[in-house]
Amino acid sequence: MRTRTLAAGLSAVALASVLAACGQAGSSGTHPTSSANASNASVPTCKPVAGDKLVVLEDDKKLQNADNVIPALNAKAVANDDAIIPLLDTVSAALDTPGLIALNKAVDVDRQTSAQAAKDFVDDHQLTAKDTSAGKGTKVTIGAANFSESATLANIYADVLKSAGYAPTVRDVGSRETYLKALENGQLTIVPEYTSTLTTFINAAQNGADSTSPASGDLDKTVAALTDLGKKVGLVFGKPAAAQDQNAYAVTTAFADKNGVKTLSDLASKCGGLILGGPPECTTRDYCQPGLEKVYGLQFASFKQLDTGGPLTKSALQKGQITIGLVFSSDGQLAASS
């Protein structure tokens, strides 16, 4: 995903509904909490249901910002190249969230290399270029951040560009703090990025860490803001993919089937007394417990301190120790357990 930390941003629509954080983070274990929304006071308590299979509930009120995969390019490097962005756009057109989950499963669960998973994706979606000489041997350096999803996306970009006659190289470039400077100064040509996370990052660099990010749950508005911010640092962007890697909330498929829930709104209307699992900061961050309570009216009986979308949270869901847990929407294990 974009990074292995949580984005603290909340969509503009949701933010207007969120008041001060309620609930206190404890040092460990399970902690009682309360839900301030009384409108759903009559809903029954729904106990956790253990099961190996996990499913993400749709964030139908857009609590989370839109963090779609998007190719970011150095503007000078591609200024006179009419082919490169349209080629990358073919990747975006083919990539949705289930596809991204499948790619992550191939690498993180099935232990394929990112290069092999990328080749299979390009072949399966017939993304090889029709014009094999468009690149004219132009050298292109594609940066891959320090997690497998980014490496796989970078290799997909490389395979598509190579098929069009470019000479791409994929470089492992570490964290955003490191690679964004390299992209801006032209050491890198392309990096696979994420709309809201990059918007927030560039905005903070330009306008200060305390400035309000223009990222939101509205993809079009977020991309427009990102495009404007990118111009100031010499970046341009291709089209965003439908695929998103963002904070998400999962239950077991057994729980979803038993209670007939597909969305977070469904959950709020049918179930109370929920046990929420996530990282310690979840009880005070707008994208997590406070937002779920204020935007959806979810009722939590307790909070269990676990990890950031990692094995502790997923294991607690599968064992029936929590009802709902914070995960990442493109986690390969979602495919492995479905």
Q: Which amino acid is at 334?
A: L
pLDDT value of position 334 = 85
Q: Among residues 196, 243, 247, 239, which one has the least CA distance to residue 97?
A: 243
Q: Among residues 238, 258, 217, 225, which one has the least CA distance to residue 94?
A: 238
* Superfamily covering domain 69-237: Dipeptide-binding Protein; Domain 3 (3.10.105.10)
pLDDT value of position 28 = 34
pLDDT value of position 99 = 97
pLDDT value of position 163 = 98
The boundaries of every CATH 3.10.105.10 domain in the chain are: 69-237
pLDDT tens by residue, 252-294: 999 999 999 999 999 999 999 999 999 999 999 888 999 999 9
CATH T-level fold of 12-64+246-336: D-Maltodextrin-Binding Protein; domain 2 (3.40.190)
Q: Determine the Cα–Cα distance for residues 145 and 154; give it in Å rounded to an integer.
A: 9
Task: Count the Cβ atoms, other than its own, within 10 Å of residue 94.
Answer: 19
The boundaries of every CATH 3.40.190.120 domain in the chain are: 12-64+246-336
- Mean pLDDT by runs of 10 across the 338 residues of the chain is 45 39 34 48 90 94 95 97 98 97 95 98 97 96 96 98 98 92 97 97 94 94 98 98 95 97 97 96 92 96 94 97 96 74
